[in-house]
Amino acid sequence: MSTSVSLPDQSTARLPKVSYLNKEYGLKSWLLTKDHKRIAIMYLLGTTFFFCIGGAMAALIRLQLLTPYGDLLAADTYNKVFSAHGLIMVFFFLVPVAPAVLGNFLIPLMIGARDVAFPRINLFSWYLFMTGGCIEVCMLVFGGVDTGWTFTTPLSTHFLNTQVVAAAMGIFVAGFSSILTGLNFIVTIHRMRAPGMTWFRLPLFIWSYYATSVIFVLATPVIAIALALVMLERVIGIGVFDPRMGGDPLLFQHLFWFYSHPAVYVMILPGMGIISEVVACFCRKRVFGYTAVAFSSVAIGVFSFFVWAHHMFIMGISNYSALVFSLMTMLVAVPSAIKIFNWSATMYKGSISFDTPMLYTLGFIGLFTIGGLTGVFLASLGMDIHLTETYFVVAHFHYVMVGGMVSALMAGLHFWWPKITGRMYPESLGRVAAIILFMGFNLTFFPQFILGYLGMPRRYWAYPPEFQALNVLSSAGATVLAIGYLLPICYFIWSLKYGKIAGSNPWQAAGLEWQVQSPPLTENFEQTPIVTHEAYDYEWLANQTRNEVPTVG
């Protein structure tokens, strides 16, 4: 039971003459495409654009917090900046990026399908997403919004004069893109698997994207309802959330977090799928305990619906319901712990190489472990009273969503970049960027844990001067982190023209997507593949590579 690896010679690899990238030319061929791979590229461009806006806002936030007295921006401007950062990053980057970019590109390839189940709906959801994004950008241009990304009522409904309705409308529209994408993936995974691709032969990537899709379909309508009610309350004063009219402002918190907590798992579950693929490939091994990892994804998806009130422990919900939600939150931490240990155990007796995706993966394991464990701090009722609404929370969710998700996304982008473009990114620069990202991230956000325990509240435009040293440290780290993001953007663009030709399977990975040419054909597979091996079966792969891997030239 052992496999050795012999990487193919890249110097002889050629770009295929025909691929999804050059089958058709012209803007129209992109804007009207029904090809899931092209739609994924369009999502990549869209989300990168929003990431840059959100990142610029983050830079302004960290600049502002260099000094305690609010020297750079006015209070209202600062509030608009952090609101824009949160709104754009959550709803237009973190939620869509992993499902819509990597999911769209890879799910049909991984299960041996020609396309997703509903290609037109897939394209439509991209337009919905971009429409929502355009509304959001227009909202920013026409004055912005200062609700924070949480739209807390009655602040958002009665006490602000900014573009609340536009901000909510943008998310409302983009939400349908999530629902349609989730629906598309569920149907695709159920109905379009290649012959022989049973549920337990699916890559773990598919399992976690399946859980993500279920959350999309079940949770997103609730935020649509919540935001529609906010808009109605603001415009015509229906009074659902207004205590003066018999409404209940806590109701909004329930509705909002009923979506937004599962949405947190939408942001991390795809990352977990990516990590499973990368760990298996760079350890040359099947993931340790496939079934446990697969079912832990499902368990996270299910439990994620029953933890929302842990955002409201100090808001006067009954002590006993707080007990239940704390218990459920403790339980949802367990599957994440299982995954971490299973990935670590996958390395046991592997044959580990440390290419860029693997470095990002190791970074992910470290940052996600810290993020997850600090989540236990917050799930613990008595501790949450002191920690909630402070920088501890800010640090915690950035560890999970940025340290975890963005590291995983980077791992995934580097891993599949040769498949997407047919060319390699520069390996040594990639490793440097991975290390810079890890160091910069910890420098930026670890001080915020200390700030939080010291009591510094989040969303403060000015703060007591004794918190300055740690804030300066955090801002200094943010500059390092920024390099960690800008560097990959630069060399990815560079590699489009100058990167080495990758060949169909540069990593010698076992997934179906690696058995076709890079970049793939529009129809993905020349013939419907018949799957006869388990996922991550590197022995099968070793035999397979003795034969010629078919490419279309």
Partner 1 sequence: MQHFISPVLWQFLVKWLTHFALFPPEASSIAPYADGLYFFLIFISLIGVGAVAFLVIFFSIRYRQSRHPVAVQIEGSTLLEATWTIIPLILFMIVFVWGALLYFRIYSPPPNAMNVYVVGKQWMWKVEHPGGQHEINALHIPINEPIQLTLISQDVFHSFSVPAFRVKREAIPGRYTTVWFEATRPGVYHLFCTQYCGTLHSQMIGWVYAMKPDDYQAWAAGSTSGHSLAQNGERLFASLGCNSCHNSTPNAHGPNLANVYGSHVQLANGQFTTVDDAFLRDTILNPTLHQVAGYAPIMPTYQGQVSEDGLIDLVEYIKGLNSNYRIDQTIDNSAGQPVQTGATPGGTSAPPLAPGTVKP
Where are the strands (E) in 79-203, listed by range? Answer: none
Contact 443, 481 (CB under 8 A): yes
Contact 48, 133 (CB under 8 A): no
- Of 105 and 397, nearer to partner 1 (C-beta) is 397
Q: How far is the CB of 374 from partner 1 (least distance, A)?
A: 7
Q: How far is the CB of 13 from partner 1 (least distance, A)?
A: 21
88-101 b/e (C-beta count within 10 Å ≥ 16 → b): bbbbbbbbbbbbbb
Q: How far is the CB of 177 from partner 1 (least distance, A)?
A: 28
Output the CA–CA distances (angstroms, integers) from residue 267 to 117, 121, 256, 400, 481, in the order listed: 23, 22, 16, 9, 20
- Of 16 and 357, nearer to partner 1 (C-beta) is 357
Question: In 3D, which of 32, 184, 13 has the Cα closest to residue 107?
Answer: 184
- In a 3-state reduction of DSSP, which class is residue 457? strand
Q: How far is the CB of 379 from partner 1 (least distance, A)?
A: 8
Q: How far is the CB of 381 from partner 1 (least distance, A)?
A: 3
Residues 6+ positions from 495 with CB-CB distance below 8 Å: 417, 421, 423, 424, 425, 426
Reading the block at residue 373, the tokens are 């464990």
- Of 24 and 76, nearer to partner 1 (C-beta) is 76
Judge if the upstream peptide bond of residue 519 is cis by omega within 30 degrees of 0.
yes
Crossing angle of the two packed helices 290-303 and 204-236, in degrees rounded to 10: 10
Q: How far is the CB of 240 from partner 1 (least distance, A)?
A: 13
- Of 20 and 282, nearer to partner 1 (C-beta) is 282
| CA–CA dist 286, 435 (Å, integer) | 26
| CA–CA dist 43, 96 (Å, integer) | 8
Question: In 3D, which of 86, 249, 222, 80 has the Cα closest to residue 157?
Answer: 249
Q: How far is the CB of 457 from partner 1 (least distance, A)?
A: 4
| CA–CA dist 310, 315 (Å, integer) | 10
Total Cβ atoms within 10 A of residue 545:
16
Reading the block at residue 525, the tokens are 């597979």
Q: How far is the CB of 308 from partner 1 (least distance, A)?
A: 16
- Of 469 and 490, nearer to partner 1 (C-beta) is 469
- Of 292 and 487, nearer to partner 1 (C-beta) is 292
Q: How far is the CB of 157 from partner 1 (least distance, A)?
A: 10
| CA–CA dist 467, 455 (Å, integer) | 9
Reading the block at residue 300, the tokens are 């996270």
- Of 247 and 499, nearer to partner 1 (C-beta) is 247
Q: How far is the CB of 206 from partner 1 (least distance, A)?
A: 19
| CA–CA dist 102, 72 (Å, integer) | 38
- In a 3-state reduction of DSSP, which class is residue 123? helix
- Of 195 and 457, nearer to partner 1 (C-beta) is 457
- Of 26 and 246, nearer to partner 1 (C-beta) is 246
Length of the chain, in residues: 553
- Of 119 and 239, nearer to partner 1 (C-beta) is 239
- Of 1 and 236, nearer to partner 1 (C-beta) is 1
Q: How far is the CB of 56 from partner 1 (least distance, A)?
A: 21
